[in-house]
Amino acid sequence: FQGRQVWEFDAHGGSPSELQSVKAAQDAFTANKLTQKHSSDLLLRLQCTGSVEDSTTRRRKGLKSEVVSGPEVTSALRDGISFYSKLQQADGHWPGDYGGPMFLMPGLVITCYVTGCLDTVLTDPHKAEMLRYLKNHQNADGGYGLHIEGHSTMFGTALSYVTMRILGLPAEDEVCESARRWILDHEGATHITSWGKFWLAVLGCYSWDGMNPTPPEIWMLPYATWTGIGLAHPGRFWCHCRMVYLPMSYVYGMRGTGKLTPLVLSLREELYPGSYGSINWNAARNQCASTDLYYPHPWIQDVLWWSLYKAEGLLLGSSLRKKALQEVMRHVHYEDENTRYVCIGPVNKVINMLCCWLENPDSEAFKRHIPRLYDFLWVAEDGMKMQGYNGSQLWDTTFAVQAICATGLAHEFSDCLRRAHNYVDVTQVREDCPGPLSAWYRHISKGAWPFSTRDHGWPISDCSSEGLKAALSIAALDPAKVGAPISDERLFDCVNVILSYQNGDGGWATYENTRSYSALELINPSETFGDIVIDYSYVECASACMTALAEFQHKHPEHRRAEVAASLNRGQRFIERQQRADGSWYGSWGVCFTYAAWFGCEALAAVGKTVANSEAQLRACEFLLGKQCPDGGWGESYLSCQDKVYSQLEGQESQVVNTAWAILALISAGYHHRDTKQIQNGVRCLLRQQLPSGDWLQEHITGVFNRNCMITYANYRNIFPIWALGRYRVDVLKL
Ligand code: LAN
């Protein structure tokens, strides 16, 4: 359970003044909900520090001069790290709000409702906080976005609507009424995206005939590439796509629907403009609201789904279907058991749980899922949400370690680093999943680090690399203070994983190698997510792996010398190829060009490239400098991610996380040897924004996945300003 995060309701907890602070934070959020879409994770801060500062708190005292002085930076860093270390937990990890997507909680609530465990899983306080969250994140037009900052979509609105109704809100409630108006004004819930159709069908207020097929038989296709069709085997999909469509195909394949309760029957009438009986389900299969459409179906999908739709007549109830369903369940159980029922993500977590119930409602497997639902729930002043993962524990901890070590003040925070070291140590995956791995479509895990916890355990290329770098940074400190370093043997295992992950194009993907061609994206049926079908090479993952290999090489120059050198070489060429003509890189997992600039510049720096000897580095810096805001910072909007062009925040506002990434990029490229003025302006911005406590405010959303959905990284506002100020202190001020 190391790193596990579960919020519990304590009816007797909290002093009167704490309760008052909680209420004040909740009320402030609700009062400003239309402008301030983001919680500042104040409940966590209150619990860890005993008091909270919010947007009404005055920032640090004004800076005295144009020039940033050493003592100013050092004291900002001391305050920043001291504050941040208070949020650290006893096992060494940093918890934080990992919410953002709006389509996750409905899956949990619908699954609990259908399987009859809603009232045992969710206590009244859970339900009240979930409703607070849903009320807070309604847009002005009555609808709900794909994520907390997004425009209204059918996917967000219809699913949030049924969730509120299941949680007990009456249809006449004004929040429900305005949401329902939005749905009906947009032609009703038949226009929801395919994943929304799935959840409504599970609940019983949408017909399975209105869904494009996800037949379980695809799991019985041959895998080998020489067969041709093998290239489209789901075992070659990106693991998140594969692990969602796996249990989905089971539920679809047996038409798993809950009881037709009075609520469900009523929802059938609430969600559509006409009567439920008059819906043309065949036509509904391909309907999708324009608000939701990010990746429209290419015509080839229409042909494919039409043929499969026809084939369903033969497959449904056949012995082939029975065999396919059994095969799918073997894989569902394997996933459950190897993640201790956490599952790889929030979507397959609840569909797997539903599958276990459909297979046998009294099963041990179903019961074991229940306690792990809480791992995904998080409470902040905006209410209770379902997170995008069971947390970002390991990821944030490795960054925090590297940030603190980069400040040159590590010796002042050795307790904090010792605890963090423990978390990094216990979270490394020490063995592969049960084999044969190929039979389960799994990559090796031994030596890797996961994104969240050891229990979750799925290996990831860049998490392994950040884990390795954190381990190396700590190994450079006094073991009497921070604990004995992780053994060389284990570091070698990690290097083995990193090398194994490199793709033919020289880049690195996320959890596995790229296993098929990007043409497979043609069958992406999700409508709202881009690039989900296969695992692609990414600049961020490549950079993390290269910087880790380069640092490792310093310490162990003889270990797999030639392989490491060749790998760095191929990586460099990948990074150079990915750079756009304007000097930028597109970021896939953070917002967006500023995030990728940091990774791009670090990768080139790892192979000895700086502005002094590299055209690519210079172009990258010039790109960033061209985007600097009038106040000296950087402020990038999430729209960059979906539009793939740099998008400033409204009013050319800057925000600390983007500013910190830009500063880190410029310093790693060596730009400070040319000129320090613009970097210094950025640094002043970070200092100006710091709160007296040492915290920074949560600003706009900074994480993303699949081009179109945003996700909160609450820890970034602490980690990255500390890291950027730290590198400024050491590399520029030479302190
Ligand atoms: C994550 C979180 C971590 C993230 C990084 C390690 C930061 C990145 O560098 C590589 C990709 C990865 C592992 C990643 C991939 C997509 C995830 C798993 C998420 C953004 C967290 C949630 C998201 C997942 C796909 C959400 C569920 C939605 C689906 C479309 C299945």
* Range 481-499 average pLDDT: 98
- The pLDDT assigned to 705 comes to 98
- The pLDDT assigned to 591 comes to 98
Cβ(667) to ligand 1 under 6 A?
A: no
* Range 103-120 average pLDDT: 98
* Range 366-393 average pLDDT: 98
- Say if residue 734 is exposed, middle or buried (CB neighbours under 10 Å; 0-12, 13-18, 19+): exposed
- Residue ID of nearest Cα to ligand 1 atom 7: 589
Of 105, 143, 139, 147, whose CA–CA distance to 122 is shortest? 105
Which tokens hold the place of 601? Answer: 């510049």
- For ligand 1, what atom is nearest to the CA of residue 544? 9
- For ligand 1, what atom is nearest to the CA of residue 346? 27
φ, ψ (nearest 5 deg) of residue 552: -65, -40
- For ligand 1, what atom is nearest to the CA of residue 705? 20
Cβ(389) to ligand 1 under 6 A?
A: yes
- The pLDDT assigned to 61 comes to 58
Going from the Cα of 304 to the center of ligand 1, the distance in angstroms, rounded, reads 28
Given the residues 41, 97, 462, 535, the one annotated as active site: 462
- The pLDDT assigned to 160 comes to 98
- The pLDDT assigned to 197 comes to 98
Peptide bond into 436 cis (omega under 30): yes
- For ligand 1, what atom is nearest to the CA of residue 706? 30
- The pLDDT assigned to 380 comes to 97
Cβ(579) to ligand 1 under 6 A?
A: no
Helices and strands (H, E) in the chain, number of each type: 29, 6
> pLDDT digit string (tens) for 528-549?
999 999 999 999 999 999 999 9
Give rounded-to-5 percent helix, strand, coil for the chain: 55, 5, 40
How far apart are the C-alpha atoms of 408 and 722, rounded to whole Å? 11
Task: Assess whether pLDDT exceeds 90 at residue 65.
Answer: no
pLDDT category of residue 56 using cuts at 50, 70 and 90: low
Which percentage of the chain shows pLDDT scores above 70? 98
- The pLDDT assigned to 59 comes to 67
pLDDT category of residue 358 using cuts at 50, 70 and 90: very high
Of 160, 165, 20, whose CA–CA distance to 104 is shortest? 160
Going from the Cα of 153 to the center of ligand 1, the distance in angstroms, rounded, reads 21
Residue 201, H or E segment: helix 194-203
Residue 322, H or E segment: helix 319-338
Average pLDDT, the chain: 96
Going from the Cα of 424 to the center of ligand 1, the distance in angstroms, rounded, reads 20
> pLDDT digit string (tens) for 630-652?
999 999 999 999 999 999 999 99
- Say if residue 591 is exposed, middle or buried (CB neighbours under 10 Å; 0-12, 13-18, 19+): buried
* Range 161-176 average pLDDT: 98
pLDDT category of residue 53 using cuts at 50, 70 and 90: confident
- The pLDDT assigned to 11 comes to 86
pLDDT category of residue 63 using cuts at 50, 70 and 90: low
Does the annotation count 493 as an active-site position?
Answer: no
Cβ(347) to ligand 1 under 6 A?
A: yes
Which tokens hold the place of 549? Answer: 């290999």
* Range 419-436 average pLDDT: 97
> pLDDT digit string (tens) for 676-690?
999 999 999 999 999
Q: Spell 226-240 as b/e; 16+ CB within 10 A means b.
A: eeeeebbbbbbbbbb
pLDDT category of residue 64 using cuts at 50, 70 and 90: low
Task: Give Cα separations from 470 to 186, 253, 560 (angstroms).
Answer: 49, 45, 21
Query: ipTM score of the complex?
Result: 0.97
Going from the Cα of 525 to the center of ligand 1, the distance in angstroms, rounded, reads 18
Give the relative orientation of helices 539-555 and 461-475 as an angle to the nearest 10 degrees: 30
- Residue ID of nearest Cα to ligand 1 atom 3: 451
- The pLDDT assigned to 14 comes to 84
Of 424, 414, 480, whose CA–CA distance to 452 is shortest? 424
* Range 453-474 average pLDDT: 98
pLDDT category of residue 384 using cuts at 50, 70 and 90: very high
Q: Is the pTM of this model over 0.90?
A: yes
- The pLDDT assigned to 52 comes to 82
Cβ(545) to ligand 1 under 6 A?
A: no
